[in-house]
Structures are given as structure tokens and as C-alpha cells.
């Protein structure tokens, strides 16, 4: 499993990076530590969004975000970062949930949640990119 995808689980991807790099000699560890620190910064900033993804109460948001992420963000080896991912996701969410006939109250609650978590969603995607970069650097150093 790629470490970047640990963001979608309760497991801590930063601990996993530190664990796999623990055997590095000092000079390689010094080269790898900045990658861990950058990723850690965004993983911490995206904690609120990760909580929503893992919460059973928000299964609809979580499932639709996973679909959105796989179709709009990750393109094989490439990762595409939109200027405003939360706005694109909100449009995607509206389009997909339109046939579901959610009540106005439910719809408003979901839209408010997505808007409220907008910046942490962007941080989540950035954390994903930094974790992928750290993985690539790890492979180069091994």
C-alpha cells in the first residue's frame, strides 16, 4: 500500500514514513527529514477533514469524496491539483446527489460542511502530494 493512501485510514502516514526511514544512515536521514516535515505540516492541517472522512455520520461525503478523488485528482502516476478543490467537489456533490432527492435541510447541512472544510480539503490534497513526493524520495535513497 502506498503511504499517501494512509490519509484515507486512521493510520498515521507520518509515523509510517519515520518507521521506514529509521534504518537510514545519518546522511540519508538528513536528506529525507525535510520531506517528512513538509508532509507532516499538511497532514496536521488536514486533520479536521480526515476526521470527517473517517466518521460514520458522514458516509455520503466520504464515499463521494473518494470517487471524486480517484476520478478528478489522481490520474495514474499524475496528481492534478485544482485551484479550488472544495468548490469542484461541491459541484460534483450537487450533481451526484441531485437524483437522490435529499431534503433541503440535509442538502444545506452537507453543503455547509463542505464549505466549512474547504481549506482543510485543499490541505488534505496537498498532504497527499507531499506524501507521494516523500515516497519517491525514499525510493531514490534506498
Give domain limits for the chain. 29-141
* Predicted confidence (pLDDT) per residue in 64-92, tens digit: 999 998 888 877 677 777 778 888 899 99
* Predicted confidence (pLDDT) per residue in 16-53, tens digit: 999 999 999 999 999 999 999 999 999 999 999 999 99
CA atoms of 79 and 91, how far apart (whole Å): 20
pTM beyond 0.75: the answer is: yes
* CB 49, CB 122: distance < 8 Å: no
- What residues contact 122, with CB distance under 8 A and at least 6 apart? 84, 85, 86
Q: What are phi and psi of 121, to 5 degrees?
A: -65, -45
H helical segments located in the chain? 13-20, 26-45, 47-54, 59-68, 85-97, 104-116, 118-141
Amino acid at each position: 500500500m502506498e503511504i499517501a493512501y494512509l490519509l484515507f485510514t486512521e493510520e498515521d502516514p507520518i509515523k509510517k514514513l519515520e518507521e521506514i526511514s529509521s534504518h537510514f544512515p545519518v546522511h540519508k536521514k538528513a536528506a529525507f527529514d525535510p520531506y517528512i516535515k513538509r508532509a507532516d505540516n499538511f497532514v496536521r492541517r488536514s486533520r479536521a477533514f480526515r476526521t470527517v472522512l473517517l466518521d460514520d455520520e458522514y458516509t455520503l461525503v466520504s464515499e463521494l469524496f473518494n470517487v471524486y478523488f480517484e476520478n478528478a485528482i489522481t490520474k495514474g502516476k499524475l496528481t492534478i491539483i485544482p485551484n479550488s478543490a472544495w468548490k469542484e467537489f461541491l459541484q460534483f456533490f450537487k450533481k451526484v446527489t441531485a437524483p437522490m432527492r435529499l431534503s433541503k435541510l440535509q442538502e444545506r447541512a452537507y453543503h455547509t460542511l463542505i464549505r466549512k472544510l474547504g481549506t482543510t480539503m485543499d490541505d488534505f490534497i496537498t498532504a497527499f502530494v507531499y506524501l507521494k513526493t516523500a515516497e519517491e524520495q525514499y525510493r531514490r535513497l534506498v
